[in-house]
Protein backbone atom coordinates (compact mmCIF):
# COMPACT_ATOMS: atom_id res chain seq x y z
CA UNK A 1 0.00 0.00 0.00
CA UNK A 2 0.90 3.59 -0.47
CA UNK A 3 2.12 4.95 2.80
CA UNK A 4 2.17 8.56 3.80
CA UNK A 5 2.18 10.67 6.90
CA UNK A 6 -0.64 13.23 6.41
CA UNK A 7 -3.71 13.06 8.65
CA UNK A 8 -5.96 12.21 5.63
CA UNK A 9 -4.00 9.09 4.85
CA UNK A 10 -6.33 6.76 6.67
CA UNK A 11 -9.24 8.25 4.76
CA UNK A 12 -7.56 7.58 1.41
CA UNK A 13 -6.65 4.09 2.51
CA UNK A 14 -10.30 3.39 3.40
CA UNK A 15 -11.39 4.72 0.06
CA UNK A 16 -8.83 2.60 -1.80
CA UNK A 17 -10.03 -0.52 0.02
CA UNK A 18 -13.77 0.03 -0.11
CA UNK A 19 -14.47 1.37 -3.58
CA UNK A 20 -16.27 -0.89 -6.06
CA UNK A 21 -13.82 -0.21 -8.89
CA UNK A 22 -10.57 -2.11 -9.07
CA UNK A 23 -7.69 0.10 -7.80
CA UNK A 24 -4.04 -0.84 -8.29
CA UNK A 25 -0.63 0.74 -8.08
CA UNK A 26 2.11 0.16 -10.66
CA UNK A 27 5.75 0.68 -9.84
CA UNK A 28 8.23 -0.05 -12.61
CA UNK A 29 6.57 -2.86 -14.51
CA UNK A 30 4.90 -4.60 -11.51
CA UNK A 31 1.69 -4.19 -9.61
CA UNK A 32 2.72 -3.42 -6.04
CA UNK A 33 -0.73 -2.94 -4.47
CA UNK A 34 -4.37 -3.60 -5.25
CA UNK A 35 -7.71 -3.58 -3.45
CA UNK A 36 -10.22 -6.38 -2.82
CA UNK A 37 -12.37 -5.26 -5.78
CA UNK A 38 -9.45 -6.13 -8.06
CA UNK A 39 -9.20 -9.62 -6.59
CA UNK A 40 -12.94 -10.16 -7.14
CA UNK A 41 -12.87 -8.72 -10.65
CA UNK A 42 -10.05 -10.99 -11.76
CA UNK A 43 -11.42 -13.94 -9.76
CA UNK A 44 -8.19 -14.65 -7.89
CA UNK A 45 -8.18 -16.34 -4.46
CA UNK A 46 -6.16 -13.73 -2.53
CA UNK A 47 -4.49 -10.42 -3.06
CA UNK A 48 -1.03 -11.94 -2.53
CA UNK A 49 -1.66 -14.53 -5.20
CA UNK A 50 -2.72 -11.84 -7.64
CA UNK A 51 0.22 -9.53 -6.93
CA UNK A 52 2.66 -12.36 -7.63
CA UNK A 53 1.35 -12.77 -11.16
CA UNK A 54 3.27 -10.86 -13.80
CA UNK A 55 1.04 -8.05 -15.20
CA UNK A 56 1.42 -9.51 -18.67
CA UNK A 57 -0.47 -12.62 -17.52
CA UNK A 58 -3.50 -10.49 -16.63
CA UNK A 59 -4.14 -9.65 -20.29
CA UNK A 60 -4.65 -11.84 -23.34
CA UNK A 61 -1.69 -11.89 -25.72
CA UNK A 62 -3.42 -9.51 -28.12
CA UNK A 63 -5.89 -6.66 -27.69
CA UNK A 64 -9.05 -6.46 -29.75
CA UNK A 65 -7.38 -4.10 -32.27
CA UNK A 66 -4.84 -6.87 -32.94
CA UNK A 67 -1.87 -5.24 -31.22
CA UNK A 68 0.27 -7.27 -28.79
CA UNK A 69 -0.86 -6.43 -25.25
CA UNK A 70 2.70 -5.89 -23.93
CA UNK A 71 3.67 -3.39 -26.58
CA UNK A 72 0.40 -1.51 -26.25
CA UNK A 73 0.57 -1.48 -22.43
CA UNK A 74 4.02 0.11 -22.53
CA UNK A 75 2.69 2.78 -24.86
CA UNK A 76 -0.37 3.50 -22.66
CA UNK A 77 1.83 3.85 -19.55
CA UNK A 78 4.25 6.14 -21.37
CA UNK A 79 1.37 8.39 -22.41
CA UNK A 80 0.07 8.51 -18.81
CA UNK A 81 3.51 9.42 -17.46
CA UNK A 82 3.91 12.11 -20.07
CA UNK A 83 0.43 13.68 -19.84
CA UNK A 84 -0.30 13.02 -16.17
CA UNK A 85 -3.20 10.70 -16.87
CA UNK A 86 -4.66 8.54 -19.62
CA UNK A 87 -8.03 6.82 -20.09
CA UNK A 88 -8.59 3.94 -22.55
CA UNK A 89 -10.31 0.59 -22.99
CA UNK A 90 -8.54 -2.70 -22.43
CA UNK A 91 -9.16 -6.44 -22.55
CA UNK A 92 -8.18 -8.28 -19.38
CA UNK A 93 -8.01 -11.94 -18.52
CA UNK A 94 -9.47 -13.42 -15.34
CA UNK A 95 -7.87 -16.23 -13.37
CA UNK A 96 -10.23 -18.71 -15.09
CA UNK A 97 -9.10 -17.51 -18.53
CA UNK A 98 -12.19 -15.45 -19.41
CA UNK A 99 -11.35 -12.28 -21.34
CA UNK A 100 -13.47 -9.22 -20.53
CA UNK A 101 -13.45 -5.49 -21.34
CA UNK A 102 -12.51 -2.76 -18.83
CA UNK A 103 -12.11 0.96 -18.93
CA UNK A 104 -8.67 1.91 -17.56
CA UNK A 105 -7.68 5.20 -16.00
CA UNK A 106 -3.95 5.63 -15.36
CA UNK A 107 -2.79 8.55 -13.22
CA UNK A 108 0.89 9.38 -12.81
CA UNK A 109 1.89 10.01 -9.16
CA UNK A 110 5.50 11.25 -8.65
CA UNK A 111 7.18 9.63 -5.60
CA UNK A 112 10.64 11.15 -5.07
CA UNK A 113 12.59 10.44 -8.24
CA UNK A 114 10.17 7.74 -9.45
CA UNK A 115 6.75 7.96 -11.05
CA UNK A 116 4.15 5.48 -9.78
CA UNK A 117 0.97 4.87 -11.71
CA UNK A 118 -2.37 4.77 -9.95
CA UNK A 119 -4.75 2.47 -11.87
CA UNK A 120 -8.55 2.26 -11.91
CA UNK A 121 -10.32 -0.55 -13.78
CA UNK A 122 -14.02 -0.35 -14.41
CA UNK A 123 -15.72 -3.49 -15.71
CA UNK A 124 -17.44 -2.79 -19.06
CA UNK A 125 -19.06 -6.22 -19.51
CA UNK A 126 -22.61 -5.12 -18.63
CA UNK A 127 -22.37 -1.87 -20.54
CA UNK A 128 -21.12 -3.68 -23.65
CA UNK A 129 -23.93 -6.21 -23.40
CA UNK A 130 -26.53 -3.43 -23.13
CA UNK A 131 -24.99 -1.62 -26.06
CA UNK A 132 -25.05 -4.69 -28.22
CA UNK A 133 -28.63 -5.58 -27.18
CA UNK A 134 -29.70 -2.07 -28.11
CA UNK A 135 -27.86 -2.28 -31.41
CA UNK A 136 -29.53 -5.61 -32.16
CA UNK A 137 -32.97 -4.22 -31.34
CA UNK A 138 -32.39 -1.15 -33.50
CA UNK A 139 -31.14 -3.28 -36.35
CA UNK A 140 -34.22 -5.52 -36.19
CA UNK A 141 -36.46 -2.43 -36.13
CA UNK A 142 -34.76 -1.02 -39.21
CA UNK A 143 -34.96 -4.35 -41.02
CA UNK A 144 -38.63 -4.55 -40.05
CA UNK A 145 -39.35 -1.15 -41.56
CA UNK A 146 -37.44 -2.03 -44.69
CA UNK A 147 -39.22 -5.32 -45.20
CA UNK A 148 -42.63 -3.79 -44.46
CA UNK A 149 -42.02 -1.22 -47.17
CA UNK A 150 -40.94 -3.85 -49.67
CA UNK A 151 -43.87 -6.10 -48.76
CA UNK A 152 -46.35 -3.25 -49.13
CA UNK A 153 -45.17 -2.26 -52.59
CA UNK A 154 -44.88 -5.84 -53.78
CA UNK A 155 -48.34 -6.66 -52.55
CA UNK A 156 -49.81 -3.98 -54.74
CA UNK A 157 -47.87 -5.27 -57.74
CA UNK A 158 -48.85 -8.84 -56.96
CA UNK A 159 -52.52 -7.96 -56.86
CA UNK A 160 -52.20 -6.89 -60.49
CA UNK A 161 -49.92 -9.74 -61.60
CA UNK A 162 -51.78 -12.59 -59.91
CA UNK A 163 -55.22 -11.15 -60.52
CA UNK A 164 -54.72 -10.74 -64.25
CA UNK A 165 -53.03 -14.13 -64.54
CA UNK A 166 -55.98 -15.72 -62.76
CA UNK A 167 -58.42 -14.07 -65.13
CA UNK A 168 -56.34 -15.21 -68.11
CA UNK A 169 -56.27 -18.81 -66.90
CA UNK A 170 -60.06 -18.72 -66.83
CA UNK A 171 -60.33 -17.11 -70.26
CA UNK A 172 -57.88 -19.36 -72.06
CA UNK A 173 -59.65 -22.67 -71.43
CA UNK A 174 -59.78 -23.41 -75.16
CA UNK A 175 -56.12 -22.48 -75.77
CA UNK A 176 -54.16 -24.91 -73.60
CA UNK A 177 -50.68 -23.68 -74.57
CA UNK A 178 -51.37 -20.07 -73.64
CA UNK A 179 -53.30 -21.21 -70.62
CA UNK A 180 -50.30 -23.09 -69.27
CA UNK A 181 -48.19 -19.94 -69.67
CA UNK A 182 -50.71 -18.03 -67.60
CA UNK A 183 -50.69 -20.86 -65.05
CA UNK A 184 -46.90 -20.53 -64.77
CA UNK A 185 -47.27 -16.81 -64.05
CA UNK A 186 -49.86 -17.61 -61.42
CA UNK A 187 -47.63 -20.23 -59.78
CA UNK A 188 -44.63 -17.92 -59.64
CA UNK A 189 -46.88 -15.12 -58.44
CA UNK A 190 -48.24 -17.14 -55.58
CA UNK A 191 -44.72 -18.19 -54.55
CA UNK A 192 -43.87 -14.48 -54.51
CA UNK A 193 -46.97 -13.81 -52.43
CA UNK A 194 -45.79 -16.47 -49.92
CA UNK A 195 -42.39 -14.78 -49.63
CA UNK A 196 -44.03 -11.40 -49.11
CA UNK A 197 -46.30 -12.90 -46.45
CA UNK A 198 -43.19 -14.12 -44.60
CA UNK A 199 -41.64 -10.65 -44.82
CA UNK A 200 -44.85 -9.18 -43.45
CA UNK A 201 -44.72 -11.69 -40.62
CA UNK A 202 -41.16 -10.66 -39.81
CA UNK A 203 -42.03 -6.98 -39.86
CA UNK A 204 -44.92 -7.71 -37.47
CA UNK A 205 -47.41 -6.17 -39.83
CA UNK A 206 -49.50 -9.12 -40.80
CA UNK A 207 -53.12 -9.45 -39.84
CA UNK A 208 -53.27 -11.86 -36.92
CA UNK A 209 -56.46 -13.57 -35.85
CA UNK A 210 -55.58 -14.19 -32.24
CA UNK A 211 -57.71 -16.18 -29.84
CA UNK A 212 -57.09 -17.85 -26.52
CA UNK A 213 -55.80 -21.37 -26.98
CA UNK A 214 -54.14 -23.99 -24.80
CA UNK A 215 -50.61 -24.25 -26.19
CA UNK A 216 -50.61 -27.85 -24.94
CA UNK A 217 -53.53 -28.61 -27.28
CA UNK A 218 -51.81 -26.93 -30.20
CA UNK A 219 -48.67 -29.00 -29.59
CA UNK A 220 -50.62 -32.24 -29.13
CA UNK A 221 -52.45 -31.67 -32.40
CA UNK A 222 -49.15 -31.02 -34.16
CA UNK A 223 -47.15 -33.91 -32.71
CA UNK A 224 -47.85 -36.19 -35.69
CA UNK A 225 -46.96 -33.51 -38.21
CA UNK A 226 -43.72 -32.66 -36.38
CA UNK A 227 -42.70 -36.33 -36.31
CA UNK A 228 -43.32 -36.74 -40.02
CA UNK A 229 -41.38 -33.58 -40.74
CA UNK A 230 -38.43 -34.54 -38.54
CA UNK A 231 -38.20 -37.99 -40.13
CA UNK A 232 -38.08 -41.53 -38.80
CA UNK A 233 -34.52 -41.51 -37.53
CA UNK A 234 -35.21 -38.55 -35.24
CA UNK A 235 -36.49 -39.27 -31.77
CA UNK A 236 -39.13 -36.63 -31.30
CA UNK A 237 -40.73 -35.81 -27.97
CA UNK A 238 -43.57 -33.36 -27.58
CA UNK A 239 -44.66 -32.55 -24.05
CA UNK A 240 -46.65 -29.95 -22.16
CA UNK A 241 -46.64 -29.42 -18.39
CA UNK A 242 -48.93 -27.38 -16.14
CA UNK A 243 -51.88 -27.68 -18.56
CA UNK A 244 -53.89 -25.75 -19.54
CA UNK A 245 -51.39 -23.25 -20.92
CA UNK A 246 -53.55 -20.39 -22.13
CA UNK A 247 -52.00 -18.01 -24.63
CA UNK A 248 -53.54 -15.39 -26.89
CA UNK A 249 -52.16 -16.21 -30.32
CA UNK A 250 -53.11 -16.85 -33.89
CA UNK A 251 -53.12 -20.68 -33.88
CA UNK A 252 -52.21 -20.83 -37.56
CA UNK A 253 -49.14 -18.72 -36.87
CA UNK A 254 -48.07 -20.84 -33.94
CA UNK A 255 -48.34 -23.93 -36.11
CA UNK A 256 -46.07 -22.27 -38.65
CA UNK A 257 -43.65 -21.26 -35.90
CA UNK A 258 -43.35 -24.83 -34.59
CA UNK A 259 -42.91 -26.24 -38.09
CA UNK A 260 -40.14 -23.74 -38.84
CA UNK A 261 -38.28 -24.74 -35.67
CA UNK A 262 -38.78 -28.43 -36.42
CA UNK A 263 -37.54 -28.02 -40.01
CA UNK A 264 -34.41 -26.26 -38.78
CA UNK A 265 -33.78 -28.97 -36.18
CA UNK A 266 -34.18 -31.68 -38.82
CA UNK A 267 -31.67 -29.92 -41.10
CA UNK A 268 -29.22 -29.44 -38.23
CA UNK A 269 -29.39 -33.10 -37.21
CA UNK A 270 -28.96 -34.40 -40.74
CA UNK A 271 -32.05 -36.54 -40.25
CA UNK A 272 -30.77 -38.37 -37.15
CA UNK A 273 -30.87 -37.29 -33.50
CA UNK A 274 -33.15 -36.12 -30.70
CA UNK A 275 -35.65 -33.32 -30.98
CA UNK A 276 -37.73 -32.21 -28.07
CA UNK A 277 -40.55 -29.69 -27.93
CA UNK A 278 -41.81 -28.73 -24.56
CA UNK A 279 -44.21 -26.15 -23.13
CA UNK A 280 -44.50 -25.13 -19.50
CA UNK A 281 -45.56 -22.19 -17.37
CA UNK A 282 -42.77 -19.94 -16.07
CA UNK A 283 -42.75 -16.86 -13.89
CA UNK A 284 -40.44 -14.11 -15.08
CA UNK A 285 -39.37 -11.86 -12.22
CA UNK A 286 -36.32 -10.01 -13.40
CA UNK A 287 -34.62 -9.53 -16.73
CA UNK A 288 -34.07 -12.96 -18.25
CA UNK A 289 -30.63 -13.19 -19.78
CA UNK A 290 -30.35 -14.42 -23.34
CA UNK A 291 -33.68 -13.09 -24.58
CA UNK A 292 -33.64 -10.93 -27.69
CA UNK A 293 -36.17 -8.49 -26.27
CA UNK A 294 -36.74 -7.80 -22.60
CA UNK A 295 -39.98 -8.99 -21.04
CA UNK A 296 -41.97 -7.26 -18.31
CA UNK A 297 -42.23 -9.41 -15.17
CA UNK A 298 -45.22 -11.75 -15.28
CA UNK A 299 -46.35 -15.27 -16.02
CA UNK A 300 -45.42 -16.73 -19.36
CA UNK A 301 -45.84 -19.92 -21.29
CA UNK A 302 -42.40 -21.02 -22.39
CA UNK A 303 -42.01 -23.21 -25.44
CA UNK A 304 -38.57 -24.78 -25.81
CA UNK A 305 -37.28 -26.60 -28.87
CA UNK A 306 -34.08 -28.53 -28.24
CA UNK A 307 -32.07 -30.51 -30.77
CA UNK A 308 -28.69 -32.22 -30.70
CA UNK A 309 -27.68 -31.17 -34.18
CA UNK A 310 -24.71 -29.19 -35.46
CA UNK A 311 -25.32 -26.13 -33.29
CA UNK A 312 -24.89 -22.58 -34.48
CA UNK A 313 -21.47 -20.94 -34.86
CA UNK A 314 -20.99 -18.06 -32.41
CA UNK A 315 -20.38 -15.70 -35.33
CA UNK A 316 -23.75 -16.65 -36.89
CA UNK A 317 -25.82 -16.30 -33.70
CA UNK A 318 -26.36 -12.53 -33.90
CA UNK A 319 -27.76 -12.92 -37.43
CA UNK A 320 -30.07 -15.93 -37.42
CA UNK A 321 -33.29 -13.92 -37.01
CA UNK A 322 -32.46 -11.56 -39.86
CA UNK A 323 -34.50 -12.11 -43.00
CA UNK A 324 -32.53 -13.95 -45.70
CA UNK A 325 -29.74 -15.01 -43.36
CA UNK A 326 -29.06 -18.64 -44.17
CA UNK A 327 -26.09 -20.98 -44.03
CA UNK A 328 -27.86 -23.45 -46.29
CA UNK A 329 -27.04 -23.87 -49.96
CA UNK A 330 -29.19 -22.05 -52.49
CA UNK A 331 -32.45 -23.86 -52.95
CA UNK A 332 -32.30 -25.49 -49.50
CA UNK A 333 -33.09 -22.42 -47.44
CA UNK A 334 -34.23 -18.86 -47.98
CA UNK A 335 -33.43 -17.64 -44.48
CA UNK A 336 -36.97 -16.56 -43.73
CA UNK A 337 -37.90 -19.32 -41.26
CA UNK A 338 -36.56 -17.73 -38.09
CA UNK A 339 -37.37 -14.20 -39.26
CA UNK A 340 -40.99 -15.33 -39.44
CA UNK A 341 -40.76 -16.97 -36.02
CA UNK A 342 -39.29 -13.78 -34.57
CA UNK A 343 -42.08 -11.64 -36.04
CA UNK A 344 -44.84 -13.93 -34.81
CA UNK A 345 -43.40 -14.06 -31.31
CA UNK A 346 -42.94 -10.30 -31.09
CA UNK A 347 -46.34 -9.52 -32.54
CA UNK A 348 -47.85 -11.84 -29.93
CA UNK A 349 -46.17 -9.86 -27.14
CA UNK A 350 -43.48 -12.44 -26.43
CA UNK A 351 -39.73 -12.80 -26.71
CA UNK A 352 -37.32 -15.40 -28.05
CA UNK A 353 -33.89 -16.55 -26.94
CA UNK A 354 -31.42 -19.05 -28.27
CA UNK A 355 -28.48 -20.89 -26.79
CA UNK A 356 -26.28 -23.04 -28.93
CA UNK A 357 -23.03 -24.90 -28.68
CA UNK A 358 -21.19 -25.59 -31.87
CA UNK A 359 -21.35 -29.33 -32.48
CA UNK A 360 -23.56 -30.06 -29.46
CA UNK A 361 -26.99 -28.69 -30.24
CA UNK A 362 -29.35 -25.80 -30.02
CA UNK A 363 -32.15 -24.65 -27.75
CA UNK A 364 -34.74 -22.07 -28.74
CA UNK A 365 -36.93 -20.68 -25.94
CA UNK A 366 -40.08 -18.76 -26.79
CA UNK A 367 -41.93 -16.85 -24.09
CA UNK A 368 -45.57 -15.96 -24.69
CA UNK A 369 -47.60 -14.00 -22.12
CA UNK A 370 -50.05 -16.26 -20.29
CA UNK A 371 -53.65 -15.33 -21.11
CA UNK A 372 -56.76 -15.54 -18.94
CA UNK A 373 -58.84 -18.68 -19.42
CA UNK A 374 -61.37 -18.12 -22.20
CA UNK A 375 -65.02 -17.62 -21.36
CA UNK A 376 -67.13 -20.71 -22.10
CA UNK A 377 -68.77 -19.17 -25.18
CA UNK A 378 -65.49 -17.97 -26.64
CA UNK A 379 -65.33 -20.89 -29.07
CA UNK A 380 -64.29 -19.83 -32.54
CA UNK A 381 -67.20 -19.56 -34.94
CA UNK A 382 -67.46 -22.50 -37.30
CA UNK A 383 -66.16 -21.77 -40.80
CA UNK A 384 -69.06 -20.08 -42.59
CA UNK A 385 -70.25 -22.10 -45.59
CA UNK A 386 -69.85 -20.29 -48.87
CA UNK A 387 -73.22 -18.68 -49.46
CA UNK A 388 -75.08 -19.05 -52.71
CA UNK A 389 -74.49 -16.08 -54.95
CA UNK A 390 -76.99 -13.36 -54.45
CA UNK A 391 -76.99 -10.63 -57.03
CA UNK A 392 -75.57 -7.64 -55.25
CA UNK A 393 -74.31 -4.19 -56.03
CA UNK A 394 -70.92 -3.14 -54.74
CA UNK A 395 -69.46 0.31 -54.32
CA UNK A 396 -65.72 -0.11 -54.89
CA UNK A 397 -63.43 2.66 -53.66
CA UNK A 398 -59.89 2.40 -55.01
CA UNK A 399 -57.53 5.24 -55.86
CA UNK A 400 -55.23 3.15 -58.03
CA UNK A 401 -56.66 2.86 -61.52
CA UNK A 402 -55.16 -0.48 -62.47
CA UNK A 403 -56.17 -2.15 -59.21
CA UNK A 404 -59.65 -0.67 -59.49
CA UNK A 405 -60.12 -2.07 -62.99
CA UNK A 406 -58.86 -5.47 -61.95
CA UNK A 407 -60.99 -5.78 -58.83
CA UNK A 408 -63.99 -4.64 -60.79
CA UNK A 409 -63.35 -7.33 -63.37
CA UNK A 410 -62.99 -9.99 -60.67
CA UNK A 411 -66.29 -8.99 -59.13
CA UNK A 412 -68.22 -8.57 -62.34
CA UNK A 413 -67.18 -12.01 -63.48
CA UNK A 414 -68.65 -13.39 -60.27
CA UNK A 415 -71.94 -11.73 -61.12
CA UNK A 416 -71.78 -8.59 -58.99
CA UNK A 417 -72.71 -5.12 -60.19
CA UNK A 418 -69.81 -2.73 -59.48
CA UNK A 419 -69.59 1.02 -59.25
CA UNK A 420 -66.06 2.41 -58.88
CA UNK A 421 -65.25 5.56 -56.93
CA UNK A 422 -61.72 6.94 -57.22
CA UNK A 423 -61.56 8.17 -53.62
CA UNK A 424 -63.35 8.73 -50.33
CA UNK A 425 -64.88 12.05 -51.38
CA UNK A 426 -66.47 10.57 -54.49
CA UNK A 427 -67.72 7.56 -52.53
CA UNK A 428 -69.38 9.79 -49.94
CA UNK A 429 -71.12 11.72 -52.69
CA UNK A 430 -72.40 8.49 -54.24
CA UNK A 431 -73.58 7.18 -50.86
CA UNK A 432 -75.32 10.50 -50.14
CA UNK A 433 -77.37 10.40 -53.34
CA UNK A 434 -81.04 9.54 -52.89
CA UNK A 435 -81.57 5.74 -52.76
CA UNK A 436 -77.98 4.76 -53.53
CA UNK A 437 -78.91 1.05 -53.71
CA UNK A 438 -75.52 -0.51 -52.84
CA UNK A 439 -75.28 -3.73 -50.84
CA UNK A 440 -71.61 -3.53 -49.87
CA UNK A 441 -68.87 -0.95 -49.56
CA UNK A 442 -65.49 -2.35 -50.63
CA UNK A 443 -62.72 0.17 -50.00
CA UNK A 444 -58.95 0.39 -49.93
CA UNK A 445 -57.69 1.71 -46.58
CA UNK A 446 -54.70 3.79 -47.64
CA UNK A 447 -55.83 6.56 -50.01
CA UNK A 448 -55.00 10.22 -50.33
CA UNK A 449 -57.66 12.54 -48.91
CA UNK A 450 -60.38 10.72 -47.00
CA UNK A 451 -58.98 7.25 -46.32
CA UNK A 452 -60.96 4.03 -45.99
CA UNK A 453 -61.45 4.19 -42.24
CA UNK A 454 -62.50 7.85 -42.27
CA UNK A 455 -64.86 7.01 -45.10
CA UNK A 456 -66.53 4.28 -43.05
CA UNK A 457 -66.81 6.53 -40.00
CA UNK A 458 -68.26 9.43 -42.03
CA UNK A 459 -70.70 7.14 -43.84
CA UNK A 460 -71.81 5.59 -40.55
CA UNK A 461 -72.27 9.02 -39.01
CA UNK A 462 -74.48 9.91 -41.96
CA UNK A 463 -76.69 6.93 -41.18
CA UNK A 464 -75.35 4.52 -43.80
CA UNK A 465 -75.47 0.92 -42.51
CA UNK A 466 -73.89 -0.89 -45.48
CA UNK A 467 -71.66 -3.84 -44.67
CA UNK A 468 -68.02 -2.95 -45.30
CA UNK A 469 -64.98 -4.89 -46.49
CA UNK A 470 -61.65 -3.07 -46.42
CA UNK A 471 -58.50 -3.98 -48.37
CA UNK A 472 -54.93 -3.02 -47.67
CA UNK A 473 -51.30 -3.81 -48.40
CA UNK A 474 -50.28 -3.56 -44.78
CA UNK A 475 -53.21 -3.03 -42.55
CA UNK A 476 -51.76 -3.94 -39.20
CA UNK A 477 -49.28 -1.07 -39.36
CA UNK A 478 -52.06 1.28 -40.21
CA UNK A 479 -54.34 -0.05 -37.54
CA UNK A 480 -51.61 0.28 -34.96
CA UNK A 481 -51.59 4.00 -35.64
CA UNK A 482 -55.33 4.35 -35.86
CA UNK A 483 -56.58 2.05 -33.13
CA UNK A 484 -59.07 -0.67 -33.95
CA UNK A 485 -61.17 -1.04 -37.02
CA UNK A 486 -64.69 0.32 -36.64
CA UNK A 487 -66.94 -2.46 -35.30
CA UNK A 488 -68.23 -5.03 -37.73
CA UNK A 489 -65.70 -4.24 -40.43
CA UNK A 490 -63.95 -7.00 -42.34
CA UNK A 491 -60.50 -6.76 -43.78
CA UNK A 492 -58.87 -8.62 -46.66
CA UNK A 493 -55.15 -8.40 -47.09
CA UNK A 494 -53.53 -7.76 -50.46
CA UNK A 495 -52.62 -9.59 -52.57
CA UNK A 496 -55.82 -11.59 -52.86
CA UNK A 497 -56.99 -13.92 -55.59
CA UNK A 498 -60.32 -13.48 -57.31
CA UNK A 499 -61.46 -16.60 -55.50
CA UNK A 500 -60.61 -15.19 -52.04
CA UNK A 501 -62.07 -11.82 -52.82
CA UNK A 502 -65.38 -13.23 -54.01
CA UNK A 503 -65.58 -15.55 -50.98
CA UNK A 504 -64.95 -12.67 -48.56
CA UNK A 505 -67.41 -10.41 -50.35
CA UNK A 506 -70.08 -13.12 -50.11
CA UNK A 507 -69.33 -13.65 -46.43
CA UNK A 508 -69.65 -9.94 -45.73
CA UNK A 509 -72.95 -9.82 -47.61
CA UNK A 510 -74.21 -12.92 -45.77
CA UNK A 511 -73.50 -11.38 -42.40
CA UNK A 512 -75.40 -8.21 -43.20
N1 LIG B 1 -31.77 -25.77 -34.84
C2 LIG B 1 -30.74 -25.23 -35.52
N3 LIG B 1 -29.51 -25.79 -35.46
C4 LIG B 1 -28.47 -25.25 -36.15
N5 LIG B 1 -28.55 -24.14 -36.91
C6 LIG B 1 -29.74 -23.53 -37.00
C7 LIG B 1 -30.90 -24.03 -36.31
N8 LIG B 1 -31.93 -23.21 -36.58
C9 LIG B 1 -31.46 -22.23 -37.39
N10 LIG B 1 -30.15 -22.42 -37.64
C11 LIG B 1 -29.28 -21.55 -38.46
O12 LIG B 1 -29.96 -20.33 -38.69
C13 LIG B 1 -30.06 -20.07 -40.08
C14 LIG B 1 -31.36 -19.33 -40.34
O15 LIG B 1 -32.48 -20.17 -40.11
P16 LIG B 1 -33.83 -19.88 -40.87
O17 LIG B 1 -34.83 -20.90 -40.47
O18 LIG B 1 -34.17 -18.45 -40.69
O19 LIG B 1 -33.44 -20.05 -42.40
P20 LIG B 1 -33.13 -21.40 -43.20
O21 LIG B 1 -33.56 -22.60 -42.42
O22 LIG B 1 -31.71 -21.32 -43.61
O23 LIG B 1 -34.07 -21.21 -44.48
P24 LIG B 1 -35.67 -21.35 -44.50
O25 LIG B 1 -36.14 -21.56 -43.11
O26 LIG B 1 -36.16 -20.06 -45.08
O27 LIG B 1 -35.93 -22.51 -45.36
C28 LIG B 1 -29.96 -21.43 -40.74
O29 LIG B 1 -29.49 -21.34 -42.07
C30 LIG B 1 -28.98 -22.15 -39.81
O31 LIG B 1 -27.65 -21.77 -40.11
MG1 LIG C 1 -35.48 -22.66 -41.54
Q: What is the pLDDT of residues 368-410, one digit of tens each?
A: 999 999 877 655 554 444 444 456 899 999 988 888 899 999 9
Q: Are 443 and 468 in contact (CB under 8 A)?
A: yes
Domain range list for the chain: 9-123, 128-202, 213-369, 393-511
- pLDDT tens digits along 406-456: 999 999 988 899 999 999 999 999 998 887 889 999 999 888 889 888 999
Contact 457, 485 (CB under 8 A): no
Nearest CA to ligand 1 atom 19: 335
Q: What is the pLDDT, as a whole number, of residue 330?
A: 81
Alpha carbons 1 and 12: distance in angstroms, whole number: 11
Judge contact between 107 and 79, C-beta under 8 A: no
How much distance in Å is there from the Cα of 309 to the middle of ligand 2? 14
CA of 260 to the centre of ligand 2 (A): 5
Give the model's pLDDT for residue 387. Answer: 46
pLDDT at 103 over 80: yes
Residues in the chain: 512
Give the CATH superfamily of 9-123.
PAS domain (3.30.450.20)
* CATH class, 393-511 region: alpha beta
Average pLDDT on 9-33 reads 90
With a cut of 60, say whether residue 274 has pLDDT above it. Answer: yes
Closest C-alpha to 261, from 344, 139, 192, 371:
344
| Cis preceding-peptide flag for 495 (omega within 30 of 0) | yes
The predicted structure's pLDDT at residue 473: 75
Whose CA is closest to 17, among 39, 45, 32, 43?
39
Q: How confident is the model at residue 48 (pLDDT cuts 50, 70, 90)?
A: very high
For residue 364, which atom of ligand 1 is closest to its CA?
1
pLDDT tens readout for residues 156-212: 889 889 999 999 998 999 999 999 999 999 999 988 988 888 888 888 777 777 889
Distance 338 CA to ligand 2 centre (A): 6
Please choose from 326, 340, 341, 342 the residue to mutate so as to test ligand 1's pocket, defined by most ligand atoms within 8 A of CB: 326
What are the distances in angstroms from CA 273 to CA 40, 231, 267, 328? Answer: 42, 10, 11, 19
Q: What is the pLDDT of residues 125-153, one digit of tens each?
A: 988 888 887 888 888 888 888 888 888 88
> Rounded mean pLDDT of the chain?
88
Q: Is the pLDDT of residue 463 over 50?
A: yes
273 vs 377, higher pLDDT: 273
Question: Phi first, then psi: what are they for 357, rounded to 5°?
Answer: -115, 125
The pTM for the full model equals 0.67
The DSSP line for 229-288 is: HH-TTEEEEEEE-SS--EEEE-HHHHHHHHHHHHHHHHHHHTT-EEEEEEEEEEEE-SPP
Q: What is the pLDDT of residues 320-371, one digit of tens each?
A: 999 999 999 887 888 999 999 999 999 999 999 999 988 899 999 999 999 9
CA–centroid distance, residue 440 to ligand 1 (Å)? 45
Mean pLDDT of 257-285: 93
Model confidence at 246: pLDDT above 70: yes
Residue nearest to atom 28 of ligand 1 (CA): 326
Instruction: Tell me which fold the domain 213-369 belongs to.
Output: Heat Shock Protein 90 (3.30.565)
Q: What average pLDDT does this structure show over 41-62?
A: 94
* Selection from 286, 277, 285 nearest residue 241 by Cα: 277
pLDDT digits (tens, 9 = 90+) for 212-222: 999 999 999 99
Amino acid sequence: MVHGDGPGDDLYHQYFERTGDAFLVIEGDRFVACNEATVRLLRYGTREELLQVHPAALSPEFQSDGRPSREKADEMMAIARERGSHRFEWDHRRADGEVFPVEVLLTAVPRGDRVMLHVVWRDLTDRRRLESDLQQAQKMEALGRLSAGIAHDFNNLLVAINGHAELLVGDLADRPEEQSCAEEILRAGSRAADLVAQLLAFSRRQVLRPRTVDLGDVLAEMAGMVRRLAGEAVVTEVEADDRPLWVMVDPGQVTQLVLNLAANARDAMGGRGNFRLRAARVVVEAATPGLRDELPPGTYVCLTAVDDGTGIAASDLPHIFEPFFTTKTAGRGTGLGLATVYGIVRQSGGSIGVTSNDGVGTCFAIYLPEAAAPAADDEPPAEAPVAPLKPASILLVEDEDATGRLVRMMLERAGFAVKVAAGGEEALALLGAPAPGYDLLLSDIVMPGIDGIELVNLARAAGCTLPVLLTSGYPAEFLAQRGDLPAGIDLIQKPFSAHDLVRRVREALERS
